[in-house]
Amino acid sequence: MPTFAFTARNGAGQVVQGSRAANDVSALRRLLADEGVLLVRSREAKKAGAVGSLRPLPVRELIVFTFHMQNVLDAGVPILSGLTDLREETRHPALRAVIADVIDRLNGGETFAQALAHHPTIFDQHYVSMVDAGEQSGRLPYVMERLVQLLEWREELRRSIRDMTTYPIVVLVALVGLVALVLGFVFPRFMEVFQRIDFELPWPTRVLIGASDFMQSWWWAVGLGVIAAWIGLTLLRRVDSVRLRLDTALLRAPIVGPVVSMVNFGQVAKALASFLDAGIALPRALELISRMVGNRRAGRSVDEARTSILAGETLTEGFRAAGLFPPLVLRMVRMGEQSGRLVEALGKVGAIYDREVPVRTKRLLDALSPILTGVMGGILLFVILSVLLPLYRMYQEIGTHY
């Protein structure tokens, strides 16, 4: 999606400049009209020529950049001086090249937001929009501080999700490896003995022999099937309709669903508080958040709420009509709208979910651990019985004859 630098006028006749991603000029005009701004002129931003701008920057580097700019602006140092110092100090080559390009564009007359918008793989729409709002409102130092908080929160959230999924994945891989080892290498050593037995083998042994024969003969087909299934699922997740159904099912899942809901709608509340506090109009803030949320169904709910607001409804009514927002969010938003302290209410929702998500995650893992351990123990028990039962029967037969 191209990025346009534009000049427009608001309802008071004031000149507004900024940058916005849109499919074309008509789409840009509609986006601005939704915010009560009339487009005067626009031009498509040129592609950035800076080295490394095609690759996303590590989140920690982006946080360091934002934190540095916050300190620079808080100290009253000009942006150009702060960027020049950071360019000399940073060790990341891609970031150094991007900063050099931003400096050149600032010297060429562009705003800070316009200069950042040329690097969309590093500074996404949410980042650029907040910087743009901060420049227009004269609150750029505060906006950079909120950006640092938002980026750190998102990084912590990613880390929590990674930690939550690491244990089940490790156990699952170990389980698959154990089964492959038993069927491919361990059990075949006993098969030579079992094949010489003249009595009927117990059913666990027969099942394992069949599985072992199949794996030895068709291991390559199983491997190809697993790879094909993985690729197929990955491609299917890129289909909007399939991804939407999967994400909807995930939100409504009996055990995992409440945690997933807290993670996604906590992100919505936190981001909306930051955007509104930065001076971004509510419809535009919801539009940005609908693209930022990882769960497609949650993002669709935010977009539906935006449509309701443009039709004249309140934020509470829009969230309620979307149908998926938790009662806590609806309650706090309603109180915030009634008291005129919506940003504070949304911030409290984010803080509550920040405390609740780790607790729920720990409970989930505590419940999952014995289940996975039981499954692994059950498989081991089945394998042991498959080996011991025929051996025990064989010793009985030997004792009978001798």
Give the model confidence (pLDDT) of 75-97 as tens digits.
888 898 999 888 888 888 888 88
Where is pLDDT greater, at 329 or 241? 329
Tokens of 196: 């010489």
Indicate if 240 and 298 belong to the same structural domain.
yes
pLDDT at residue 18 in the model: 63
Torsion of Cα atoms, 28 then 34 then 38 then 43, to 10°: -10
226 and 302 housed in the same domain: yes
Same domain, 312 and 242: yes
The C-alpha atoms of residue 69 and residue 63 are separated, in whole angstroms, by: 10
For the cut 50, the answer to whether the pLDDT of residue 366 exceeds it is yes
* Domain range enclosing 358: 141-402
Q: Nearest Cα to 19, choosing from 7, 34, 36, 37? A: 7
Looking at residue 51, its pLDDT comes to: 42
Asked whether the beta carbons of 215 and 225 are under 8 A apart, the reply is no
Asked whether residue 167 falls in the same domain as residue 261, the answer is yes
Contact 390, 197 (CB under 8 A): yes
At 48, is the pLDDT very low, low, confident or very high (cuts 50, 70, 90)? very low
> Which CATH number does the domain housing residue 375 bear?
1.20.81.30
Both 378 and 275 in one domain: the answer is yes
What integer pLDDT is reported at residue 399 of this predicted model?
65
Confidence label for 19 from pLDDT (cuts 50, 70 and 90): low
In a domain, 136, yes or no: no
- Per-residue CA distances from 210 to 193, 205, 207, 213, 300 (Å): 15, 9, 5, 5, 48
pLDDT for the residue numbered 46: 52
Mean pLDDT rounded to a whole number for the chain: 82
Report the distance separating Cα 82 and Cα 68, nearest Å: 8
Residues 267 and 390 in one domain: yes
- Please tell me whether residues 250 and 270 are part of one structural domain: yes
Q: What's the CA dihedral at 98, 104, 105, 108 to 10 degrees?
A: 180
Question: Which among 65, 93, 123 is the end of a domain?
Answer: 123
Query: For the whole model, what pTM was predicted?
Result: 0.63
Q: Is residue 131 part of a domain?
A: no
Report the alpha-carbon distance of residue 222 to residue 234 in Å, rounded: 18
- Where on the phi/psi map is residue 32: left (φ > 0), alpha (ψ -120 to 50), or beta? alpha
Asked whether residue 26 falls in the same domain as residue 161, the answer is no
Residue 24 in any domain: the answer is yes
78 and 227 share one domain? no
Q: Are residues 35 and 117 in the same domain?
A: no
* Residue 128, in any domain of the structure: no
User: Is residue 335 scored above 90 in pLDDT?
Assistant: yes
Average pLDDT estimate for 389-397: 76
8 A C-beta contact, residue 28 and residue 2:
no
Q: Please classify residue 61 by burial: count the beta carbons closer than 10 Å to its beta carbon, then call 0-12 exposed, 13-18 middle and 19+ buried.
A: middle
> Is residue 133 in a domain?
no
- Indicate if 349 and 282 belong to the same structural domain: yes
Least confident of 41-45, 127-131, 217-221, 330-334: 41-45
Distance from the Cα of residue 368 to its chain's centroid: 22
How does residue 112 score in pLDDT terms, banded at 50, 70 and 90? very high
Question: Rounded to an integer, what distance in angstroms lies between the CA atom of residue 151 and that of residue 66?
Answer: 9
Of 63, 91, 123, which one is at a domain's C-terminal end? 123
Calpha distance 284→271 (Å, rounded) = 12
Report d(CA 382, CA 367) in Å as an integer. Answer: 23
Domain annotation covers residue 204:
yes
244 and 112 inside one domain: no
Number of domains in the chain: 3
Q: In what order do the strands lie in the sheet with 3-9?
A: 15-21, 3-9, 38-44
116 against 34, higher pLDDT: 116
Q: Is 377 among the domain residues?
A: yes
- Does 345 reside within a domain? yes
- Percent of the chain whose pLDDT exceeds 90: 13
Mean pLDDT across the stretch 164-186?
78
